[in-house]
């Protein structure tokens, strides 16, 4: 029982210490959904190939 609590506590600390800062840093650095507007863009339409059925 004690080992299980220690393991959960250790995983929680690792999550807070590693995963959270990395996620925040990636949010600041990149924009994967391309949400920022580009004033020089003629259009935002992205051409795609037709789906084959």
Domain assignment present for 5: yes
Render pLDDT for 11-46 as a digit per residue (tens, 0 to 9).
999 999 999 999 999 888 887 777 788 889 888 888
**18 belongs to a structural domain:** yes
Distances (CA, A) of 16 to 21, 28, 31: 8, 18, 23
Q: What pLDDT score was predicted for residue 50?
A: 92
* Contacts with 19 (C-beta within 8 Å, 6 or more apart), sequence order: none
Structural domain contains residue 1? yes
Which range marks the domain in which residue 12 is found?
A: 1-28
Whether 1 has a pLDDT exceeding 80, the answer reads no
Total number of domains in the chain: 1
Per-residue pLDDT at 35: 79
């Amino acid at each position: 029982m004690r080992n299980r609590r220690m393991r959960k506590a250790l995983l929680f600390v690792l999550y807070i210490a590693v995963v959270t800062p990395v996620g925040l840093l990636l949010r600041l650095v990149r924009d994967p959904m391309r949400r920022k507007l580009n004033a020089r863009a003629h259009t935002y339409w992205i051409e795609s190939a037709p789906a084959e059925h």
